[in-house]
Amino acid sequence: MQHTTATIITIGDELLIGQVVDTNSAWIAQHLNVIGVWIHKRIAVGDEFEDIWKALEDAEQSSDIVILTGGLGPTNDDITKNVLNEYFGGKLVLNEDALKNVEKIFQQYNRPLLEVNYNQAMIPDVCIAMLNKRGTAPGMIFEKNNKLFFSMPGVPHEMKFMTEEYVLPAIKEKFKLFAVEHRTIITINIGESFLAERLKEFEANLGTHIKLAYLPATRMVRLRLTENLLTNELSNIETKFLELKQLVQDVMIADEDISVPAAIGKLLLQKNKTVSTAESCTGGYIAQQFTSVSGSSKYFWGSVVSYDVSVKENILNIPKETIEKFNVVSEEVVTVMAKNVREKMKTDFAIATTGIAGPDGGTEEIPVGTIWIAVASENDVITKKLQLNYTRERNIEATTIAAFGMLTSVLNQ
């Protein structure tokens, strides 16, 4: 017996010229996977009739489910609906519910309906409309040869609503689905090949239904165990997962698929501790990472982004003499930054960073990529110096992950 499979087709010139990163496919894939649908392939084509048609044929031939996003907007380059109409041999008719939906949206903004938006309410008579609560373009569901085809807008929040409201329920109703189970571990500060060497024997003994994947990123590797159960076999993934956790305990910061700041947040909540940051070269990135997690106000109290030297002196109260004597990028300065912000914000811990993220600003003494991190606790400050040579963005990311690693070790003491 085979898994139910899907092909995802994303439509739009902007995806092909690279001005927009395709985040929709990843989101859809995750959500399909969770209910047991196996993504077979993803195809991205431009707003071109022929290419969309060929992608449809390819997808229909190889998958049970076809999901298209994009090309449903009100402008001239949006042709998806026309392609689908011809592909399924339909005729465009006005859908009353879709029209009411569009009218309601424009009423909210107190604007008159434009002809292009009226046309968006016309859909093929051989499909079912998926009403769009967050925009003007309705989605469409087609059925053919026991396969389901879904067409949705490319605008992410519109697509997400439609997927959860219509697409997932329709798939669950039509197909008999078997669970795909995932377990994820997040490790930091260890390279992929060293992890693989450590886990060689473990991998060899996984059996036929469980696979281990390595997903490396800046200063971290996510390990993903995947189990494919096609019948009523017994699941073995929990046992293997416990085994894996034991093997990587020293470098593991989370045993679920969450972001690094979410993992740190859980640990802070668990220990009932608070944290603040004083950031120079990371420019607010660490604060933003903390606050990207819902509920972070329970443990993250604030930050001083001291991008200009005057702010370090006036708000963080770093003595001018210290900065002049040791240089703003130094262990001495980052130590005082961490201590002072910790006291000012009255948190249990504080992270401070100072350095040169690049690409400019380096000197012979202190080249681009020189970065100091400090983590202050009540009675101690630990520091670390990094010498990085990535892009500016990646230097900041790497510094942040390293800082989170230091905070983790201090919390786990």
Supply the minimum distance, in Å, between the C-beta of residue 97 and a second copy. 20
What residues have CB less than 8 Å from 382, skipping those under 6 apart?
374, 375, 406, 410
Any idea which residue has 């669970």 for tokens?
A: 179
Length of the chain: 413
Any idea which residue has 């009932």 for tokens?
A: 272
Residue type, 35: I
Q: Is 184 or 322 the residue whose CB approaches a second copy more closely?
A: 184
Please choose, from the candidates 86, 78, 388, the residue with its C-alpha nearest in 3D space to the C-alpha of residue 219. 388
Supply the minimum distance, in Å, between the C-beta of residue 116 and a second copy. 6
Q: Is 111 or 385 the residue whose CB approaches a second copy more closely?
A: 111
Q: Is 89 or 112 the residue whose CB approaches a second copy more closely?
A: 112
CA–CA dist 83, 70 (Å, integer): 12
Residue type, 62: S
Backbone angles phi, psi at 74, to 5 degrees: -90, 5
Q: Is 126 or 384 the residue whose CB approaches a second copy more closely?
A: 384
Supply the minimum distance, in Å, between the C-beta of residue 58 and a second copy. 8
Q: Is 205 or 232 the residue whose CB approaches a second copy more closely?
A: 205
Count Cβ atoms below 10 Å from residue 350 Cβ, excluding itself: 28
At how many degrees (to 10) do helices 260-271 and 392-411 cross? 20
Supply the minimum distance, in Å, between the C-beta of residue 89 and a second copy. 25
Q: Is 147 or 222 the residue whose CB approaches a second copy more closely?
A: 222
Q: Is 270 helix (H, G, I), strand (E, B) or coil?
A: helix
Supply the minimum distance, in Å, between the C-beta of residue 1 and a second copy. 18
Q: Is 276 or 377 the residue whose CB approaches a second copy more closely?
A: 276
- Going by the DSSP 8-state scheme, the letter that residue 113 receives in this structure is P
Q: Is 74 or 90 the residue whose CB approaches a second copy more closely?
A: 74
- Give the DSSP per-residue string, 205-246: TS-SSEEEEEEEETTEEEEEEEEE--SSPPP-HHHHHHHHHH
CA–CA dist 388, 399 (Å, integer): 9
Residue type, 247: L
Kind of pairing between the strands at 128-130 and 139-144: antiparallel
Q: Is 126 or 134 the residue whose CB approaches a second copy more closely?
A: 134
Alpha helices in 45-146 (DSSP H): 49-62, 80-87, 96-108, 115-120
Supply the minimum distance, in Å, between the C-beta of residue 299 and a second copy. 10
Supply the minimum distance, in Å, between the C-beta of residue 251 and a second copy. 15
Q: Is 100 helix (H, G, I), strand (E, B) or coil?
A: helix
Supply the minimum distance, in Å, between the C-beta of residue 142 and a second copy. 22
Supply the minimum distance, in Å, between the C-beta of residue 68 and a second copy. 14
Kind of pairing between the strands at 252-254 and 180-188: antiparallel
Kind of pairing between the strands at 5-11 and 65-69: parallel
Q: Is 114 or 242 the residue whose CB approaches a second copy more closely?
A: 114
Q: Verify cis geometry, omega within 30 degrees of 0, for the bond prior to 359.
A: yes
Supply the minimum distance, in Å, between the C-beta of residue 15 and a second copy. 7
